[in-house]
Amino acid sequence: MLPKWFNDWNSKNPTNIFGPAIVVGVVGSAVFFAAMIVSWGQPFATTSLQTGPRGTGMSVPEFVAELEAGDPTIDEYYTDSPIIPEGNEPLSGEIYENVQVLTNLTEDNFNRVMLAITNWVSPDQGCAYCHAGADEGEYASDDLYTKVVSRRMIQMTQAINEDWDAHVNANAQVGVNCSTCHRGQNVPTYIWFEQTPVADKFAGWSAVQNQATPNSEFTSLPSDALQELLVNYGQINVHDLESRVAQQPGDPTWQNTERTFALMNYFSNSLGVNCLFCHNSRAFYDPEQFTPQWSTASIAIGMVQELNNDYLIPLRDEYPEERLGPIHADAPKAACKTCHQGYQKPYQGLNVIADWPELATTGVPVYE
């Protein structure tokens, strides 16, 4: 026997036979799916990384499926075990002409590192990407800009591993090598160029915001945040905790406050985390409530500033026109996403320096 409400509906709506069926179907489906979730669990399960004291809600949730999938570039990572020197072998600086870095390697390890760099940076072009005479067996020439740049990049990599250990090895030995940024490409995906002004029809400072650009993570936040804070050593802080305060010379400005917000947004997207990875959201301003990751990120800021100013920007005149920025013809620069590429740790914490002690120091490599 059908329920009374069903018979009443049919008597009043003799031609509408779908209405009650839809209601029954929707309600029944909702009950079914609710029962399945209770029985089998949430199909899109998440896990959380605790970033602060227990009970404060300071955690970074991540989808389990994404964590299990992992960084797809890890499978393509090239590595090779070092060849332990026996002692008294001739070194690369003595064997080959015009070797200016990696001069203290044995011949086998020098060629091993060169092969790795080729796989990391120019797997399609091979040795000829940096060596103009590679096809004829001549490697000494500096005719190609790529060789000059690569030489400086090797020095930069050694400096990161040697001088910025507190960042790249904060929790465990991880290190960096050429592949950390390049991932098999001639030019790293996440380099950046100066993009301001993004408009020239505004009066005042508004010409550097309210235009969606990659540098602002496609928000209306300032597009010059990376330039001002990671190159020009601008102030990374907020204007004031109170409204309508008197401004004094040297105080943080509203512009730098908005740049700080833009940089924090860039941080979050670069590492795939939220604000609670470094901060306690009830007191962003209180250093006593920061997480340990805040210190690691602070060191990273100093590291990136040094890399841009001491290594990357000075190479500007070495690049051909097509490698320079589209607006200011500036050199390509690095920031967090260049290495992290959306993960808390580059390559999800893979130790990329274990097999490459040659890139970990400017001195004599330590082989184990």
Mean per-residue pLDDT for 157-182?
Answer: 95
* Per-residue model confidence (pLDDT) at position 210: 64
The per-residue pLDDT for 206 is: 57
Closest CA to 175 of 346, 303, 367: 346
For residue 17, pLDDT over 60 is answered with no
- In this model, does residue 110 exceed pLDDT 70? yes
* In the chain, beta strands by DSSP E: 46-50, 59-63
User: For all residues of the chain together, what is the average pLDDT?
Assistant: 87
Average pLDDT on 269-273 reads: 92
From CA 238, how far away is CA 251, in angstroms rounded? 10
Provide the annotated binding site for heme.
114, 127, 130-131, 153, 167, 178, 181-182, 264, 275, 278-279, 336, 339-340
User: Which of residues 160 and 51 earns the better pLDDT score?
Assistant: 160
pLDDT at 248 over 70: yes
Q: What is the spatial distance between Cα 73 and Cα 367, in angstroms, rounded to a whole number? A: 27
Percentage of residues of the chain with pLDDT beyond 70: 89
Residues 148, 142: Cα–Cα separation, whole Å: 7
- Hey, what domains does the chain have and what are their CATH numbers? 75-187+348-368 (1.10.468.10), 190-241+248-340 (1.10.468.10)
Mean pLDDT of 242-247: 78
Q: How far apart are CA 87 and CA 144, in angstroms?
A: 34
Is residue 285 within 8 Å of residue 241, measured between CB atoms?
Answer: yes
pLDDT, position 254: 80
Listed residue (305, 347, 351, 291) closest to 164, CA to CA:
305
Alpha carbon of 253 to those of 202, 236, 244, 245, 297: distances in Å? Answer: 19, 10, 12, 11, 23
pTM beyond 0.75, yes or no = yes
Which residues sit in the known binding site? Answer: 114, 127, 130-131, 153, 167, 178, 181-182, 264, 275, 278-279, 336, 339-340
Lowest mean pLDDT among 1-5, 192-196, 219-223: 1-5
Tell me, what's the pLDDT at 46?
76
